[in-house]
Amino acid sequence: MVLNFAHRGSLTEAPENTLPAFQKAIEHGTKAMELDVQLTKDNRLIVCHDHKLTRFNKSATGLIKDYTLDEIKQIDVGASFNQEFEGTTISTLEEVLEICPKSILLNIEIKNIPVLYEGIEKILLQKLAEYNRLENIIISSFDHLALKKVQEINPTLPLGMLFHYRILNTWDYAKMSGLNIYSIHPNHVFVDQDFIRNCQNQGYKVYPYTVNTLDRYEELVKFDVDGVFSNTPDIFTSK
């Protein structure tokens, strides 16, 4: 079965990384979702891709790490998407965990570049344990040292290794890392059949990002991809 992830929720239908976006993905029947986590000034886990909220609210010019959670919850990120969502705010990880069925595979990306969040790995794993959500989960990051820290805290968690650029023999790099890599998450632009086959031969799932056209998705399915990250409901609800 090809497993496709709703990327930041259903972000074409509601503001990304907000509860309405995740709720819509759940209502579509998605089997997997992806989200990014960062830390606020008071060390709360906030679900956001960008290190600033300026893209959603022009007055929010500071870095997420410079705001407390209470301050972030005063920032409207919905009105710029559609007036229907006026007053909507970025989600906390706790809020997402409360609405996300445990049957949905949850990919949590530690957004640790270029801002480095000291101790985010421990805080994240503590929160997941608190919500009894250490199963049916993948922890991913472009920061492979963050993945190492996750493994040191909990060696049993599946890890997803993210790659933005091509590197030589990605599958060998993953194998030599000594990490408990479950899946490789490459930028889809450099993924071909050989890449997928070589990764799978080493025992890794391949989940490219971000695949938003049906033509490209169908091509990757022909290459026997294990799944993709997508903003497109027709793709992330495909079986």
What is the set of domains in the chain, with CATH numbers?
Answer: 5-236 (3.20.20.190)
How many Å apart are CA 4 and CA 35, to the nearest integer? 13
Torsion region of 209: left, alpha or beta (phi above 0 gives left; psi -120 to 50 gives alpha): beta
What would the two tokens of residue 197 be? 């086959």
Compute the Cα dihedral for 116, 118, 119, 120 and give only its sign. negative
pLDDT tens, 150-165? 999 999 999 999 999 9
pLDDT tens, 82-111? 999 999 999 999 999 999 999 999 999 999
Active-site residue set: 7, 49
How many Å apart are CA 45 and CA 34, to the nearest integer? 15
pLDDT tens, 15-69? 999 999 999 999 999 999 999 999 999 999 999 999 999 999 999 999 999 999 9
Q: Is 219 exposed, middle or buried (0-12, 13-18, 19+ CB in 10 A)?
A: middle
Average pLDDT for 211-230:
98
CA angle (13, 16, 20) in 5-degree steps: 60
Query: What confidence category does residue 239 fall into, taking pLDDT thresholds of 50, 70 and 90?
Result: low
How many Å apart are CA 103 and CA 44, to the nearest integer? 25
pTM for the full model? 0.96
Task: Say if residues 155 and 161 touch (Cβ distance below 8 Å).
Answer: no
Task: Say if residues 63 and 115 touch (Cβ distance below 8 Å).
Answer: yes
Q: Which residue has the tokens 């993709």?
A: 228
Mean pLDDT of the chain: 97
